[in-house]
Amino acid sequence: MATCFWLRSCGAQRLGSTFPGCRLRPRAGGLVPASRPAPGPAQLRGYAGGLAGLSAALLRTDSFVGGRWLPAAATFPVQDPASGAALGMVADCGVREARAAVRAAYEAFCSWREVSAKERSSLLRKWYNLMIQNKDDLARIITAESGKPLKEAHGEILYSAFFLEWFSEEARRVYGDIIYTPAKDRRALVLKQPIGVAAVITPWNFPSAMITRKVGAALAAGCTVVVKPAEDTPFSALALAEVNQGFLLDLDPLLLASQAGIPSGVYNVIPCSRKNAKEVGEAICTDPLVSKISFTGSTTTGKILLHHAANSVKRVSMELGGLAPFIVFDSANVDQAVAGAMASKFRNTGQTCVCSNQFLVQRGIHDAFVKAFAEAMKKNLRVGNGFEEGTTQGPLINEKAVEKVEKQVNDAVSKGATIVTGGKRHQLGKNFFEPTLLCNVTQDMLCTHEETFGPLAPVIKFNTEEEAIAIANAADVGLAGYFYSQDPAQIWRVAEQLEVGMVGVNEGLISSVECPFGGVKQSGLGREGSKYGIDEYLELKYVCYGGL
């Protein structure tokens, strides 16, 4: 363990706090050793204004493998989606680096699995505390690389940290069973054991929370991880690694791992460009040392990863695409339904997997809902740079995403839909699109059967409850669904009949660390968060104890 500490403190160079007025918060355990080498110009890979003013110690550009910051042979640019400016050049890992990260994780697993649940709990809690201490800088990184409004980025950091807090508590609640068999001289035991190395592949829309939701559960169970973050948002994943090791570097070597910090190789990050993403994903998903794959992203990519996993029969968790229906029945409170629609549709500019994708509104309440919804959009939504105060709608992640929204709007209008508000690109820049509301929408339009991932709200008018359920359940995916009603019997019927993994009843925001997150049909496999999330990283072992 002393050797591991030496590698961290001497071999893992860090960016110094060279940006004026910014620094990491003080850490428990003392000051950073003065012997740590100062960064040279080559290490500061040209950050643009989006990251200026942040703690340089959190702005990492290399991969993080085996407790060390390691460069790659090539780099790739990360851009601010609001301005298009380059934020920095990040290590472009390939197959070789991916396999090295898996080996480091596997070697670490052999000892990490033996660390007591209480100690793992303590370490995850320390990681949580450090995220909270550095929440402002971590939020600014999210806004810079994803465009998310800063207020929402702060919310994501808290949500992200809460997963570490939650799983720090769940680590101590992994229970087995004792089963009494018909044979009097035998006892049957059921043990829960960590599955091994987990390959974690995460999306750009929640670059911090999607990591901690997976990694928190994995580490609590005793697994180690290799994280491949989205190519658009690698800085958040690398900052988590820096915060992760923040409570390691200031400690006496004799206290490392078992008493004071997460050991080298337990958390590894390998960023890569879009060009290398396919081969890196295949490398970590087919590596025989990897026992588990956890992926959040599109259904198309999820199917490819499932194919890779099938060849070696690996355990998988998949949180894939959705087509969330938002149903408003005649008995609904219109004001409540509009508030829920605003929260569900326009969070992160419509770029969440549980965003409402189609609004089904019953004939009797349709006109009142559309009018109130349009008024709320005009009054409450402000398009702008995520760092600007008052911004509620930032840019989409890239121009391809804008083109998709634009295509859906044009398709709908060509088939008879009416634009109530919005409907075109925003004057702020190529990655901005106006929040858009459509009515007179029919089921033959792209926006009703293709996930939008943007600020588009299409409204379909329906007549009966049965019709609404049929439209909602026609999709081959089923992640989340929402509906508004004041009829208790209807609430029970619809909640049970919707073919989705999560239902919001008179509520537009449903995500919580305490509750299971996941879908049915082609929206994925398994659940994340909640008391069930840790089970995704545990194997059951039956032990028959005879001769008693």
Tokens of 80: 């601010």
From the candidates 319, 434, 451, 465, give the one annotated as an active-site residue: 319
Concerning whether 319 is annotated as a catalytic residue, the answer is: yes
**Contact at 8 Å (CB) between 193 and 292?**
no
> Distance between CA 441 and CA 540 in Å, rounded?
49
| Beta carbons within 8 Å of 166's beta carbon, 6+ residues apart | 216, 513, 514, 529
> Distance between CA 264 and CA 248 in Å, rounded?
10
DSSP 8-state code for residue 489: H
> Distance between CA 423 and CA 548 in Å, rounded?
75
- Helix (H) or strand (E) segment spanning residue 160: helix 150-170
> Distance between CA 286 and CA 329 in Å, rounded?
48
**One-letter amino acid for residue 296 of the chain:** T
User: Among 300, 308, 306, which Cα is nearest to 284's?
Assistant: 308
> Distance between CA 124 and CA 333 in Å, rounded?
43
List alpha helices for 392-431, DSSP H: 399-414
**One-letter amino acid for residue 30 of the chain:** G
> Distance between CA 25 and CA 22 in Å, rounded?
9
Estimate the share of the chain in helix, then strand, then coil, as percent rounded to the nearest 5. 40, 20, 40
Instruction: Report the interhelical angle of 209-221 vs 234-246 (nearest 10°).
Output: 40
Residues labelled catalytic = 319
